[in-house]
Amino acid sequence: MIEPLWLTVPDVLYLHECSIELFGGSYGTRDEGLLESAVMRPQQLWSYTEPPPSLSDLAASIGFGLARNHPFIDGNKRTAYAAVLSFLYENGAYLDVSELEAERVMVNVASGLMPEALFASWISANSLAIED
């Protein structure tokens, strides 16, 4: 697998802003260090895991980090899910799930009921390649 395209802190801040504009809530970052840590998780996983992790593992890594680190004042789960979708899209894939299922999964991730490995398996089972 070639090195994926990574999301950056500005990318995730933009996703957060869009989420708040669309669905309401309070703007703002609660902890910039936790935000940066969450955004860098996939790159760390890529750099230090042999064999290289799957795209699903990497997508789960950023989503899990954002949902669990809670770096924003509001909209953490929505931003985490948007980051998963954006990361997959930038790397040629998408999730085929209902909004209700996505909401249930993100609540479980954020609350600690769904471990990261299970989240990655869920992403893998529900992601499809984008056809040109």
Cα distance between residue 9 and residue 110, in whole Å: 20
What is the mean predicted confidence (pLDDT) over 94-103? 98
For residue 42, tell me if it sits in a domain. yes
List, for residues 66-75, the tens digit of each pLDDT value.
Answer: 999 999 999 9
- pLDDT recorded at residue 1: 77
Give the pLDDT score at 31. Answer: 98
- Is the residue at 4 inside a domain? no
What is the domain count for the chain? Answer: 1
Q: Are 60 and 85 in contact (CB under 8 A)?
A: no
Predicted pLDDT of residue 75: 97
Residue-range definition of the domain harbouring residue 80:
9-129
Give me the CATH number covering residue 119: 1.20.120.1870
- Mean pLDDT across the chain, nearest whole number? 98
pLDDT tens digits, 6-16: 999 999 999 99
39-78 pLDDT, tens per residue? 999 999 999 999 999 999 999 999 999 999 999 999 999 9
The pLDDT of residue 8 is 99
Cα–Cα distances (Å) from 70 to 5, 73, 80, 97, 125, in that order, read 23, 8, 9, 24, 26
Write the pLDDT tens digit of every residue in 12-40.
Answer: 999 999 999 999 999 999 999 999 999 99
pLDDT higher than 90, residue 132 = no
